[in-house]
Amino acid sequence: MSSVATFLDKDGTLLEDVPYSVDPNAMKLAPGAREALAIFADVGALIFVISNQGGGARGRFEIGALDGVEYSHLTGGYAGGQAEFVRVPFADTTHIKIPDGLTDEQVLFLGDIFPTGWQAAVNCDIEPTDTVAIWGAGPVGQMAIRSALLLGAKQVIVIDRVPERLAMAKVAGAITINFDDESVLDRLKELTGGKGPEKCIDAVGMESHATRSFDAIYDRVKQAVMLETDRPHVLREMIYVCRPAGTLSVPGVYGGLIDKIPFGASMNKGLTWKMGQTHVNRWTDDLLRRIQEGQIDPSFVITHTVPLEEGPGMYKTFRDKEDGCIKVVLKL
């Protein structure tokens, strides 16, 4: 069986530096790259080059080749950024210069949740008349709220049940729905004149749950007997309530198998799906500019700043949603 060689390319390293393009045919190997890659091909390696230029990989991933990406149990089982040690390929190519006058807290989230929430909103192609519904008011959901409003959404509606998260969403100007207290689908229809939101964002992912629906019980049972890995309750609600010809944006992480998705409804409503890992480098320059100009201060999401040695306790606090914990910053 062939080994796998996976390259995470920075503009101009293996591929020619071209303007961002969604056309994979615009990607051309840089001078010398073909000869370098041939060394790996000669020893039987299956080669993938993943570029941030087009917003996605051109290569075709097969089940046996997924380990090369080394992300989640789906693609290698590595512990990710929460591990004791982290390997970051080509880390020197991802640095940005922080301008004077900005605090560490203001720019900290350019590394993850701000670009993630931003990309989720950008993927919606928001128009001034759009209502955007966002499931999940955690850190990514909070960034998606503000991103959707910055991009001109007429109305943002947020679904969660944690009081502190809903309160933070209200401060941003969002309408909130507590799914413990009322039917999400009925309330969304009411808020949109019976038509449903044009754009829907799943900022929850594979651990979604509900307290007022049979499908949530169904998912928990299937997980317990190892017949399903992820809980797609939010995906089902988005399909049911999104306005025909609307867009479903999925920044929430899914890592395995899901069941009972009403894909026929999605097809017949003409819904557009957009999802994937965040292309952080694609957005950082623009988002840094917006922070400098005062359009947004991402540090709003920080609720706890503690010394590093208190980290284990704060993981428990965050997991159990105690003490109003939404986002923790650990200081050395």
Helix pair angle (113-122, 280-292), 10° resolution: 100
Residue type, 184: V
Show the 3-state SS of the chain.
CCCEEEEEECCCCCECCCCCCCCHHHCCECCCHHHHHHHHHHCCCEEEEEECCCCCCCCCCCHHHHHHHCECCCECCCCHHHCCCCCCCCHHHCCCCCCCCCCHHHHHHHHCHHHHHHHHHHCCCCCCCCEEEEECCCHHHHHHHHHHHHCCCCEEEEEECCHHHHHHHHHHCCEEEECCCCCHHHHHHHHCCCCCCCEEEECCCCECCCCCCHHHHHHHHHHHCCCCCCECHHHHHHHHHCCCCCEEEECCCCCCCCCCCCHHHHHHHCCEEEECCCCHHHHHHHHHHHHHCCCCCHHHHCCEEEEHHHHHHHHHHHHCCCCCCCCEEEEC
Strand partners, 113: none
Domain boundaries, the chain: 4-93, 106-275, 302-332
CB 255 within 8 A of CB 278: no
222: tokens are 């299937």
Helix pair angle (139-150, 163-172), 10° resolution: 20
| CA dihedral (235, 241, 245, 246) positive or negative | negative
Distance in angstroms (rounded) separating the CA atoms of residues 259 and 248: 18
Helix pair angle (139-150, 113-122), 10° resolution: 50
Check residue 36 and give its pLDDT.
65
Distance in angstroms (rounded) separating the CA atoms of residues 6 and 57: 11
Check residue 225 and give its pLDDT.
72
pLDDT by residue for the chain (332 residues), tens only, comes to 455 555 545 445 566 655 555 555 666 666 666 666 666 566 666 555 555 444 444 444 444 544 444 555 555 555 566 667 777 767 777 788 899 999 999 999 999 899 999 999 999 999 999 999 999 999 999 999 999 999 999 999 999 999 999 999 999 999 999 999 999 999 999 999 999 999 999 999 988 877 667 777 777 777 777 777 888 999 999 999 999 999 999 999 888 888 889 999 999 999 999 999 899 989 999 999 999 999 999 999 999 999 999 999 999 999 898 999 999 999 98
| CATH H-level, domain 106-275: superfamily | NAD(P)-binding Rossmann-like Domain (3.40.50.720)
CB 49 within 8 A of CB 60: no
Check residue 206 and give its pLDDT.
86
